[in-house]
Amino acid sequence: MTLIYFIIILGVTLTVHEFGHFLFAKKSGIYCYEFSIGMGPKLHEWHRKGDETVYVLRLFPIGGYVSMAGEDVEVDEDIPEDKRMQSKPWHQRFLTIVAGVMFNFILAIVLLFIIALISGAPTNRPIIDTIEKGYDVTDSGLKKGDLIVGLNGDKIVNADDFMLKLQVSAGEEITLKVKRGDKYHDVTFAPKKVKVDGQEGYKYGFSLSGKTTHGVLAAIQYAFEKTWSLLRQMALIIYYLATGQLSLSSLAGPIGIFTIIGESAKAGILNLVYLTAYISINVGFINLLPIPAFDGGRLFFLIVEKIKGSPVDAKFENTVHAIGFILLMILMVFITYNDIVRLFQ
């Protein structure tokens, strides 16, 4: 079943992304050669009357793509100039490129809303719930109901922010600043080294509140706030990777995602829905980064064009995207290697 879940989750998030590009391209009058669901060999294709696009179903139901005239800053001589992407106004090209990312975020908001509507909107406030015995934290002065507002001198915005910063500090003694009533207190304690499923890790011996709020308005608020919180978390991860506080080995590739999906499936269908929302936000966020071959890389050249008042040289841009794609493939091989190593640890 894990394989089926893997295919569905990646298939949905990537197809939704490509559909965003496709929809805005069509609205802008850009000639679209093909809209494909899945990758690999062609299984079936169909045409709509009066529509130039070929709709294709492919063998491997993971992702998809849309092929547009002029997308790679090349001249499509058989296509009328006014239907090529590069002939369109700047704002239409911008919206077409960014639409995939926006559709990923919209998908995440919808899924998070459904989760909160069914099971309640969980609080994102880092409030202490339980404190276990036998840990350094037991006698640290930390109390149930304390609101965490700082970690090792850094401000804590919400529970997502706290959990990420705690992960960065894993294995180290930490100092929490907590609010108790109208007063603030500092508590310091160290984690205990434990083994979980045969793997060594660290446990601090406390948990956060899982209080939930029910209702449509609470679900809407949760969906938007959680999406923003996860986007902020991803930006912090990029910062921690750039500053060496997180290692590239902590990133998960396809094999790592497959393993995570398998673990989430054990906790129920809503966990898988949440994971789909999380992956969709990841796909959108990563595509926004100014990396060649990604949407963000194309947006970068589009912004440069706006600033300088003329398009960037087509051959130069295509070369940059090609080099970027090769480097991304090398990074993916490295991440996949780490995924495989973790499987045998």
Mean pLDDT of 59-80: 75
Cα torsion angle, 336, 337, 339, 340, sign:
positive
Q: Where are the beta strands (DSSP E) in 48-127?
A: 54-68, 121-122
**For the chain, what are the domain ranges?**
2-119+279-343, 124-210
Tell me what the mean pLDDT of segment 179-189 comes to: 93
> What angle, rounded to 10 degrees, do the helices at 2-27 and 254-266 form?
120
pLDDT (mean) for 61-83:
76
113: nearest Cα among 238, 214, 211 = 214
Whether the CB-CB separation of 27 and 2 falls below 8 Å is answered with no
**Greatest mean pLDDT range, 36-45, 106-115, 170-179:** 106-115
340 membership: H or E segment, kind and range: helix 314-343
DSSP class of residue 127? B
Mean pLDDT value across residues 45-62: 86
Which one is catalytic: 18, 45, 71, 77? 18
Q: Which residue has the higher pLDDT, 231 or 198?
A: 231
pLDDT at 169 over 60: yes
Cα separations in angstroms, 268 against 203, 259, 263, 272, 299 = 25, 15, 10, 7, 38
The domain 124-210 having CATH identifier 3.40.50.920: the answer here is: no
- H/E element, 207: strand 206-208
β-pairing verdict for 147-151 and 128-131: unpaired
Greatest extent of the chain over all pairs of C-alpha atoms, in Å: 76
CA gyration radius for the chain?
23
Mean pLDDT, residues 165-192: 90
- How many CB atoms are located within 10 Å of the residue 329 CB? 11
**Residue 73 pLDDT exceeds 60:** no
> Is it the case that residue 94 has pLDDT exceeding 90?
yes
Three-class SS state of 202: strand
Please report which confidence band the pLDDT of residue 228 belongs to, taking 50, 70 and 90 as the band edges.
very high
DSSP code of residue 146: P
pLDDT band at 199 (very low <50, low <70, confident <90, very high): low
**What integer pLDDT is reported at residue 280 of this predicted model?**
95
Q: Is 9 left (phi over 0), alpha (psi -120 to 50) or beta?
A: alpha
- What confidence category does residue 99 fall into, taking pLDDT thresholds of 50, 70 and 90? very high
Report pLDDT digits (tens) over 4-52: 888 888 889 988 999 999 999 999 999 998 999 887 888 898 888 888 8
Rounded CA-CA distance 303/268 in Å is 44
Any bridge partners for residue 122, and if so which?
Answer: 212
Cα dihedral 200, 282, 13, 39 in deg (nearest 10): -80
Which DSSP state fits 284?
A: H
Q: Could you tell me the pTM of the whole model?
A: 0.86
Q: What percent of the chain has pLDDT over 90?
A: 44
- Per-residue pLDDT, averaged over 181-189, amounts to 93
Give how far the C-alpha of residue 120 lies from the chain's centroid of Cα atoms, to the nearest Å: 23
Residue 142 confidence (pLDDT)? 93
107, pLDDT greater than 90: yes
Element (H, E) at 25: helix 2-27
Long-range (24+ apart) CB contacts under 8 A made by 330-333 are 331/248, 332/253
Least confident among 212-226, 279-293, 323-337: 323-337
Report residue 44 as tokens. Answer: 């079936």
Looking up tokens 């180290």 gives 172
Q: What is the pLDDT of residues 293-323, one digit of tens each?
A: 889 998 999 999 999 888 888 788 888 888 8
The predicted pLDDT at position 268 comes to 85
Is 18 tagged catalytic?
A: yes
pLDDT at 74: 57
Asked whether the predicted pLDDT for residue 59 surpasses 90, the reply is no
